[in-house]
């Protein structure tokens, strides 16, 4: 693997991590809706915004990794 390939992989992994954060926040939102006690609770509106931002960032990084890599490394060989 070249550095270019590793960079694209790292960008995709970051995207998947962001999607994981969205799932984590969605779990907190569901727990809030059902009334489960959590040690720290954010308002539902804050969780919805966080879920949206994490999801958008995750999708952009996961599916746009080739474009981002091309932007950073220039056109491929």
**pLDDT tens digits for 46-73?**
999 999 999 999 999 999 999 999 999 9
The residue with greater pLDDT, 54 or 32, is: 54
Which pLDDT score, from 0 to 100, does residue 1 have? 84
Q: Tell me how far apart the alpha carbons of residues 68 and 53 are, in angstroms, rounded to a whole number.
A: 18
pTM of the model: 0.85
For the chain, the domains span 3-73
Which pLDDT score, from 0 to 100, does residue 44 have? 87
Q: Tell me how far apart the alpha carbons of residues 44 and 46 are, in angstroms, rounded to a whole number.
A: 5
User: For residues 8 and 18, is the Cβ–Cβ distance under 8 A?
Assistant: no
Mean pLDDT, the chain, as a whole number? 92
* Range 14-35 average pLDDT: 94
């Amino acid at each position: 693997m070249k550095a270019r390939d590793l960079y694209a992989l790292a960008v995709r992994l970051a995207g998947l991590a962001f999607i994981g954060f969205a799932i984590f926040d969605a779990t907190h939102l569901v727990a809030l809706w059902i009334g489960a006690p959590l040690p720290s609770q954010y308002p539902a509106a804050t969780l919805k915004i966080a879920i949206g931002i994490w999801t958008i960032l995750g999708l952009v990084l996961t599916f746009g990794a080739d474009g981002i890599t091309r932007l950073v490394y220039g056109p491929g060989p």
